[in-house]
Structure 1
Amino acid sequence: MKKLFVFTFIGFLAQLIDGSLGMAYGVTSSSLLLTFGMAPAIASASIHISEVVTTAASGISHMKFGNVDRQAVFKLIIPGSIGAFIGACFLSNMPGDVVKPYISLFLLMLGFYVVIRFLFKHKKSSEQKNLNLSTKQAIPLGLIAGFADATGGGGWGPLTTPILLSKDGNSARKVVGTVDTSEFAIAISATLGFLVSLGWQDVNWFWVIALMLGGIIAAPIAAWLVRVMPSHFLGVLVGGFIILTNIWTLLKVWSINNMAELFIYVTIVIFWISSIVFTMRKNQKNN
């Protein structure tokens, strides 16, 4: 019973971050399950089954608060679902750890771009109704992000959110809500892929139920936070989180001493906090 409460809280925290920043449910949950010795395929399967419920709750909440561009959702879900299904079926044969550092380096640069963009290039047009995303752009983005999500236990948000935020004219609120809502289809496709390749018997239902409970509670709270936070402030928060999560991935690969690693983390946190404070002051002056 104690473990149920602990992992329900983890599910709550993961969904609160994911629902308000557009990423990290899979990454957070996957890290936890792997720490407890679960095989990568089983961990990813458990996460995606729980996400079928949590992403549904998140999507409904985001739509209720007007955070979703439905046209962009439809553009993303078909290629994303295909990529997720393929990734789930071939997880055991894919060297995901080999590719992950290169993706993280790309996303790290995108994270800095997102922060700078929302710090110095905030315009009223960033609150436009529809996201700047064509079908030609959505197809490769959906395929790659869906595949990465299934093979890594998380990747839909970390890939789609920064890429959409880096495009001029896109509202941070709409990006987060659209990414979270479209993830429902990706979770279903990945789950089907895992069930085809693994079967039901290997799924850890204790983890699934615990993660579901926490995620359902957090979903409407996160959607409300996205609704009330100014778009440029949300953009800086998301950008900083992108930087932190990807530098963490890179530092696990690079061989550097502990002092250098600590210095990098402290520098990034100071940069992030300074950006948040600057954004808050800028918002006060504009009001």
Structure 2
Amino acid sequence: MGSDILLFAGIGFMAQLVDGALGMAFGVITNALLLSFGISPAAASASVHAAKIAIGGASGLSHLAFRNVDGVLIRRLVVPGVIGGIVGALLLSWVPGEAIRPFVAVYLLLVGVLILRGAWKQRKAEKRSHPRRFTGLGLVGGFLDAVGGGGWGPIVTSTLVAGGMTPRFAIGSVNLAEFFVAVAISAVFFATIGLVHVETIIGLVLGGVLAAPLGAYLSKRVPGRLLMIAVAGGIILLSAHMIIHALPELWALS
């Protein structure tokens, strides 16, 4: 059990370092690895979101300390994100996450291209954008995050950045909002399947909490344009990977 905890601590540290700096990928990275170890989708998603409670809290506080958080955006993300997460967690028991992931992957690919294009046209002045069309973004992000075991960051952060919001404010706000979404999703999983794979959760928490401050610091210090390019590159690679792995499933359905 001790070696398992160290393994998952390493995974949690690496995943949260990326997530804290880019505002995405903790759930996607950890969930993909847990699934590759033979853990069921529901159990993997439950373990990841249970770990996100502690990690999301540490990451959110770190972003608050570095002033990367926008209060208006938080209020527009948390409530719909919690609702979407609860619905997604309840549906996961009978709606396979694999059936949704191909469509999410195509969307992310398009958003990644838009962000990469926007990185070259970025204005020098920082911008805190509060467009009304993002009000329902948390609902979709929370739902797909619960069903797919990850996706809150890639969907919500990428859409905000593509819409013109300064990357560090989008990243910090999304990280803090994710804490509340993770609490809601974990509560549903605990009520339906119980607490499973405790050693996995402990390891992810230990590694993720250690990486949270460093990720938040990198988010504040890395230049905005470079951060946008990194976000776009990560999304494009992630979505391409998801599409490639979804091709056999789509072929089978056809």
Residue of structure 2 equivalent to 1:122 = 122
Higher relative contact order (CA 8 A, sep 6+): 2
Distance in 2 between the 1:102 and 1:2 partners?
Answer: 37
Runs of 5+ unmatched residues, structure 2: 249-254
TM-score, normalised on structure 2?
Answer: 0.94
Q: 1:160 aligns with which of 143, 149, 156?
A: 156
Kindly indicate whether the alpha-carbon contact (under 8 Å) linking 2:97 and 2:148 is maintained by their aligned counterparts in 1.
Answer: yes
Kindly indicate whether the alpha-carbon contact (under 8 Å) linking 1:111 and 1:243 is maintained by their aligned counterparts in 2.
Answer: yes
The Cα of 1:131 is off from its aligned counterpart by 2.8
One-letter code of the match for 2:235?
Answer: I
Kindly indicate whether the alpha-carbon contact (under 8 Å) linking 1:55 and 1:181 is maintained by their aligned counterparts in 2.
Answer: yes
1:174 aligned onto 2:188: no
Residue of structure 1 equivalent to 2:93 = 92
One-letter code of the match for 1:242?
Answer: I
Runs of 5+ unmatched residues, structure 1: 256-287
Residue of structure 1 equivalent to 2:78 = 77
Count of aligned pairs: 247
Residue of structure 2 equivalent to 1:196 = 191
1:1-287 alignment to 2 at 5 Å? 1-119=2-120, 121-125=121-125, 127-128=126-127, 130-134=128-132, 136-139=133-136, 141-168=137-164, 170-200=165-195, 203-254=196-247
TM-score, normalised on structure 1?
Answer: 0.83
Distance in 1 between the 2:209 and 2:54 partners?
Answer: 7
Larger radius of gyration: 1
The Cα of 1:158 is off from its aligned counterpart by 1.2
Secondary structure in structure 2 of the residue aligned to 1:124: coil
Secondary structure in structure 1 of the residue aligned to 2:217: helix
The Cα of 1:70 is off from its aligned counterpart by 1.3
Kindly indicate whether the alpha-carbon contact (under 8 Å) linking 1:131 and 1:174 is maintained by their aligned counterparts in 2.
Answer: no
The Cα of 1:96 is off from its aligned counterpart by 2.4
Kindly indicate whether the alpha-carbon contact (under 8 Å) linking 1:89 and 1:196 is maintained by their aligned counterparts in 2.
Answer: no
**Cα offsets for 1:97-122 (capped at 9, x unmatched):** 22211221111011011011112x11
**Cα offsets for 1:57-78 (capped at 9, x unmatched):** 0000001001111110111000
The Cα of 1:196 is off from its aligned counterpart by 1.8
Secondary structure in structure 1 of the residue aligned to 2:93: helix
Distance in 1 between the 2:139 and 2:153 partners?
Answer: 13
Kindly indicate whether the alpha-carbon contact (under 8 Å) linking 1:7 and 1:207 is maintained by their aligned counterparts in 2.
Answer: yes
